[in-house]
Amino acid sequence: MDRRFFLKSSGIALASLSAATASPTFLTRTLAQTGKNGRKKLLVAIFQRGAMDGLNAVVPYGDQAYYGLRPSIAVPRPKSGDPMTAIDLDGFFGLNPALASFKPIYDSGQLAIIHAVGSPDNTRSHFDAQDYMEAGTPGVKSTTDGWLNRYLQAKPDPKASPFRAVAMGANMPRTMQGRGAAIAMTSINDFTIRSGGGEMGQAVQGGFEAMYAQTVNDALRGTGKETFDAVKLLKQVNPNQYQPAAGVVYPRGQFGDRLRQVAQLVKSDIGLEIAFTDIGGWDTHANQGAGQGQLANRLIEFSNGIAALYADLKDRADEVVILTMTEFGRTAKENGNRGTDHGHASVMFALGGVVKGGKVYGKWPGLKTNELYEGRDLALTTDFRDVFAELAKNHLGASNINTIFPGYQANTANFKGLVRA
């Protein structure tokens, strides 16, 4: 596996090879975080843009205040036989019935839920809050790169595949912007120069490659190199041999398509370490519904997509963790339009073979007025950086998490123990 990258790199990236040498620590680290078959550990990060209402996704039905705050949109307490009620998890929390496909994974102990998690910053701006979460530096706007990119930088890998970090989507997300090489793509099949093929096609590709290699514009030059390295590698591995595992059906639409292509890349053994995609439509200011309705429709697509990816990658469950995140939660009290406005803490889901699941993590802050953040929102009891840092360290094997989360004294004592280290 790595050998292939080595060979490829020696051809294309001679210069970068000489820059790094394999120190003993590097070797140990590499060994420590490769899975059973010598494959890399992998993180699939999914951003729910627009701020998911954590209180209606993972319902604190055991907290009486919840029903007082949400007279028309609360998800009813679990009641067997009634598909519109919460699905009980632990006698206090229940899943929105639209998240039903998560339940078997939770029961198998491979889905962990972190509640009342988010950014300690009090911004209720989507833009700022997404920025802070993707940069990994709440309250600091001057951070130029994203935390996933800083992970790449913190663990430089001279033999890294150009597909080490891939964002499914037309734009590079903030969290993967930075010095570390990363790719954004909408479709695996379109990821090539389409010039009519043949000899002339080769020449055209070569022409583009040479021009971009020479340009003085750093952004264009760097991106150009990443592009052509990736195009060439993709040709070699032929990801189109991929078939989803038996019985796996991805939901129709962009989100399902993207997750399917993540699986395709994973199964091509193309050196993927970080995959990212996002899903919008969570900004439910009006008529969000309860067990069905607007929010439920998003939750169905979201959970069915993730459950499909999880099942598709089951044979390498120990290597993969799927983590979801959203910029903030929503007001505890419903607003005047049967919706919710911008709030504070929300929910994250973590799935994978190494995840210690079947549990809702995090201290419950309560929903009484005096317990709410600024008198209106679910308070925060887990800083999202503690979740990110734990996965970066204990799953991906980053040794220096403080460079990934500058200004934050990541303390392993704050880790939730979400993954088997």
- Which spans of this chain sit near other proteins (rule: CB under 8 A)? 49-50, 72, 122-128, 167, 169-172, 177, 182-186, 190-196, 199-200, 202-204, 206-208, 210-217, 219-221, 223-224, 226-227, 230-231, 280, 283, 285-287, 293, 335-339, 341-342, 374
Q: At what angle do helices 254-267 and 294-312 cross, to 10 degrees?
A: 10
Q: Which of residues 228 and 361 has its CB atom nearest to other proteins in the complex?
A: 228
Q: Which residue, 80 or 214, has its beta carbon nearer to other proteins?
A: 214
Residue 314 CB, nearest distance to other proteins (Å)?
28
Amino acid at 119: S
Q: Between residues 31 and 203, which has the closer beta carbon with respect to other proteins?
A: 203
Kindly tell me which of 115 and 174 has the beta carbon lying closer to other proteins: 174
CB of 196 to other proteins, least distance (A): 7
Which pairing describes strands 183-185 and 165-168: parallel, antiparallel, or unpaired?
A: parallel
CB 277 within 8 A of CB 259: yes
d(CA 325, CA 342): 15
Return the number of the residue (188 or 350) whose C-beta is nearest other proteins.
188
Tokens 């997750």 correspond to: 259
String of DSSP letters for 369-386: GGGSBTTTBPPP-EEHHH
Q: How far is the CB of 130 from other proteins (least distance, A)?
A: 9
For the bound state, the minimum distance from the C-beta of residue 5 to other proteins, rounded and expressed in Å, comes to: 17
Report which secondary-structure segment, H or E, holds 118.
strand 111-118
**SS3 call for 62:** coil
Structure tokens at 357: 């699941």
CB of 41 to other proteins, least distance (A): 23
- Residues facing 342 on adjacent strands: 330
Q: What are phi and psi of 320, to 5 degrees?
A: -110, 135
- Cα distance between residue 109 and residue 227, in whole Å: 39
Question: Which is closer to other proteins, CB of 7 or CB of 220?
Answer: 220
Query: Least CB distance from residue 320 to other proteins, whole Å?
Result: 23
